[in-house]
Structure 1
Amino acid sequence: MSKVSILVLHGPNLNLLGLREPEIYGSLTLVQINKALEIDAQRLQANITCLQSNHEGVLVDAIHDAREKHQGIVINAGAYTHTSVAIRDALAAVRIPTVEVHLSNIYTREEFRHHSYIAPVVIGQISGFGGESYRLGLQGIITYLTNLH
């Protein structure tokens, strides 16, 4: 089997990791998280493409474009998790196996964060492990895709 390709999407404000509320989101920067993911992907014999955007439409377009390029998606939609029917519908439309990740445990935070529009259309959700949430999500999606073949 050829290498699987995974799209890693980071939503709004994740470009501020390391600066933004480190008591909630930790001290790792997005660059550090992406670097760890690249190392993990190489070890797991996969290719990854990482994209961060503060704009919902950019994320939707990336999900649409993934149909031709990627077999799996890891997404931290940030605040769009709790508000974006558009991202939910894009994920449902492309039917690419997806893992939803969150740095913090969204279920121990404010009530509005307890609902995810994305959760019903993904294969799994990982939250509360800081930067490790991404690494666990990447490992999970690659294992899932590998076991399909």
Structure 2
Amino acid sequence: MARTHDPDGGPQDPIRLLAIRDTPLSVDEVFRAVGADVAGGTALFVGTVRDHDGRPEQVSGLSYSAHPSAEAELRRVAEKVAADFPVAAMAAVHRVGDLAVGDLAVVVAVSCPHRAEAFTACRRLIDDLKREVPIWKHQTFEDGAEEWVGA
């Protein structure tokens, strides 16, 4: 695994930023967190609340909630990705609470020596986060219907 070094010459943890927050997310913050001199490629994924979800009715809003273990699980997922790819730096932030259509729900980024590795590692990070981290989505629709996703 490619690692950058701290000022004392030792290896630096490639996991630069992991958080579950109830405040708006910043693409710039996540992008800045994964800057690394050894990185030739940086891949960034931004997940936003959309106005549909395979139903005829439109989504009017949603709320994310997380289990108390969610940040620890997020770290476990990130460590596995960092172990499997030459990650220079990575970051992942997920929002909880009430969100409106267009709000940022999740931002992840990975930098690696080459673009192909960055793309693959970033996709793995977001896919594993969505599959393994206990964060649940409660959607409401314009017709008053509601559903839980991922629960």
TM-score (norm 1): 0.29
Q: Normalized per residue, which structure has more strand?
A: 2
Which is bigger in relative contact order (C-alpha 8 A, separation at least 6)? 2
Q: Normalized per residue, which structure has more helix?
A: 1
